[in-house]
């Protein structure tokens, strides 16, 4: 029998069965499993949908929720990130949700967590964003039948994307064989991507042929190792911005995803973002369900 993990730091923490259990749970009515429990959202980086959806998910499971935003906190007075965690942990917290611009901060917290405390990674640097991957898998499953038969393309600034890294791991766990990554060379350069066992494409025409799902990514301006010149940005738009012409290369019933926030006109045109193939706001709605399912799964419920 497998043991339920206590923390969710990476998709690697989950077996295929764990992932399927969470996806099933997300589709079922949830009990108030977090009644009398405390969830603290520690956000050291800007966020709209992830923070709000964790807050709503925790409240809908009956928890008391406290939101911490770095801008209004003692880290401004020089407190270390670990001391911030130890401080909130000392107040009898049960779940700590953390987003940080540095890779590995959720793992650092997990190392110092008391036995009853679960740490959930809500995005660390360029590393992982496992709950985003779970809500993405949930959204795909609501539209498509067998994961193993799907062709899925992830497009744009993949090298710097924690969403891409977690999505690829989750898709591989679900045995998707045809995972394509599309972008200009400078967005495909990273060690993890070279080792990821996916197909790399530098043009949309071949990359999008016959795909069932397209996941567009935001250009991670705050994390770029390669800063785009004005000319490169124009070339990026011309070659990779998802518009009606490029989408016509994909399968007829393709779904278009984006984790948000979107840069309309750079990664995706407004007619596609608001068009009939887009499931972007369904992803947002699924974010609450997926995070409820993750929190109750980690509580062993
Ligand atoms: C993503 C993130 O912060 O990693 N957004 C999100 O959580 N929905 C993607 C991004 O910022 O580009």
Backbone dihedral region of 176: left (phi > 0), alpha (psi from -120 to 50 degrees) or beta?
Answer: beta
User: Which residue would you say has higher pLDDT here, 111 or 77?
Assistant: 111
Q: Which of 103, 163, 281 best tests ligand 1's pocket when mutated (most atoms within 8 Å of CB)?
A: 163
Say how far apart CA 296 and CA 134 lie, in whole Å. 14
Nearest to 211 by CA among 250, 260, 172, 162: 250
Q: Does position 252 have pLDDT exceeding 80, yes or no? A: yes
What is the mean predicted confidence (pLDDT) over 34-38? Answer: 97
> Mind listing the pLDDT tens digit for each residue in 179-234?
999 999 999 999 999 999 999 999 999 999 999 999 999 998 887 767 888 999 99
Does 287 sit in the ligand 1 pocket, CB within 6 Å?
A: no
Does 51 sit in the ligand 1 pocket, CB within 6 Å?
A: no
The DSSP output letter for 50 is H
Q: Does position 77 have pLDDT exceeding 90, yes or no? A: no
Length of the chain: 301
- Sequential DSSP letters for 73-111: SGGGGT--HHHHHHHHHTTT-SEEEEEESSTTHHHHHHH
Q: What is the pLDDT of residue 10?
A: 98
Report which ligand 1 atom has the smallest distance to the Cα of 220. Answer: 12
Report which ligand 1 atom has the smallest distance to the Cα of 50. Answer: 7
Q: What is the pLDDT of residue 75?
A: 74
Does 63 sit in the ligand 1 pocket, CB within 6 Å?
A: no
Say how far apart CA 56 and CA 6 lie, in whole Å. 21
pTM, two decimals, is: 0.96
> Mind listing the pLDDT tens digit for each residue in 129-146?
999 999 999 999 999 999
> 113 in helix, strand or coil?
coil
Pairing state of beta strands 64-69 and 118-124? unpaired
User: Which residue would you say has higher pLDDT here, 76 or 137?
Assistant: 137
Does 100 sit in the ligand 1 pocket, CB within 6 Å?
A: no
Contacts of 216 (CB under 8 A, 6+ apart): 155, 156, 242, 256, 257, 258, 262, 267, 268
Q: Does position 3 have pLDDT exceeding 90, yes or no? A: no
Residue 1 banded pLDDT, cuts 50, 70, 90? low
Q: What is the pLDDT of residue 248?
A: 98
What is the mean predicted confidence (pLDDT) over 109-118? Answer: 97
Quote the ligand 1 centre to 260 CA distance (angstroms). 6
Q: Which of 129, 166, 217, 222 best tests ligand 1's pocket when mutated (most atoms within 8 Å of CB)?
A: 129
What is the mean predicted confidence (pLDDT) over 270-279? Answer: 98
Mean of pLDDT over the chain: 95
Q: What is the pLDDT of residue 177?
A: 93
Quote the ligand 1 centre to 69 CA distance (angstroms). 17
Say how far apart CA 240 and CA 66 lie, in whole Å. 40
> 250 in helix, strand or coil?
coil
Does 123 sit in the ligand 1 pocket, CB within 6 Å?
A: yes
What is the mean predicted confidence (pLDDT) over 62-91? Answer: 88
Q: What is the pLDDT of residue 118?
A: 98
Say how far apart CA 207 and CA 244 lie, in whole Å. 15
Phi, psi of 276 (to 5 degrees): -75, -20
Q: What is the pLDDT of residue 220?
A: 84
Q: Does position 46 have pLDDT exceeding 90, yes or no? A: no
Phi, psi of 168 (to 5 degrees): -60, -45
Q: What is the pLDDT of residue 225?
A: 65
**% the chain with pLDDT above 70:** 99
**Positions marked active-site:** 49-50, 77, 99, 129
Contacts of 94 (CB under 8 A, 6+ apart): 34, 37, 38, 39, 63, 116, 117, 118, 299
């Amino acid at each position: 029998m497998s043991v339920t993990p206590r923390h969710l730091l990476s998709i690697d923490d989950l077996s295929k069965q764990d992932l399927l259990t969470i996806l099933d749970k997300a589709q079922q009515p949830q009990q108030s499993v977090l009644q009398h429990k405390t969830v603290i959202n520690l956000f050291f980086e800007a966020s709209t949908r992830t923070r709000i959806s964790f807050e709503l998910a925790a409240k809908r499971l009956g928890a008391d929720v406290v939101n911490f935003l770095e801008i209004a906190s003692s880290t401004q007075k020089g407190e270390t990130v670990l001391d911030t965690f130890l401080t909130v942990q000392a107040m009898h917290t049960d779940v700590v949700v953390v987003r940080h611009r540095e890779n590995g901060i959720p793992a650092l917290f997990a190392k110092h967590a008391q036995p009853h405390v679960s740490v959930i990674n809500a995005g660390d640097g360029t590393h992982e964003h496992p709950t985003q991957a779970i809500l993405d898998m949930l959204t795909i499953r609501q539209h498509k039948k067998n994961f193993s038969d799907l062709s899925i393309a992830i497009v744009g600034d993949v090298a710097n994307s924690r969403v891409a890294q977690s999505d690829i791991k989750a898709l591989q766990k679900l045995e998707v064989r045809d995972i394509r990554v599309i972008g200009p060379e400078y967005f495909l350069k990273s060690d993890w991507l070279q080792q990821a066992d996916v197909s790399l494409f530098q043009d949309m025409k071949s990359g999008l042929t016959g795909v069932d799902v397209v996941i567009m990514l935001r250009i991670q301006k705050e994390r770029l190792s390669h800063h785009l010149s004005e000319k490169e940005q124009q070339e990026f738009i011309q070659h990779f911005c998802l518009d009606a012409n490029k989408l016509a290369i994909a399968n007829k019933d393709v779904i278009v995803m984006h984790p948000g926030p979107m840069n309309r006109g750079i990664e995706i045109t407004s007619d596609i973002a608001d068009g009939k193939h887009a499931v972007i706001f369904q992803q947002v709605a699924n974010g609450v369900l997926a995070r409820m399912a993750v929190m109750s799964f980690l509580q062993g419920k």
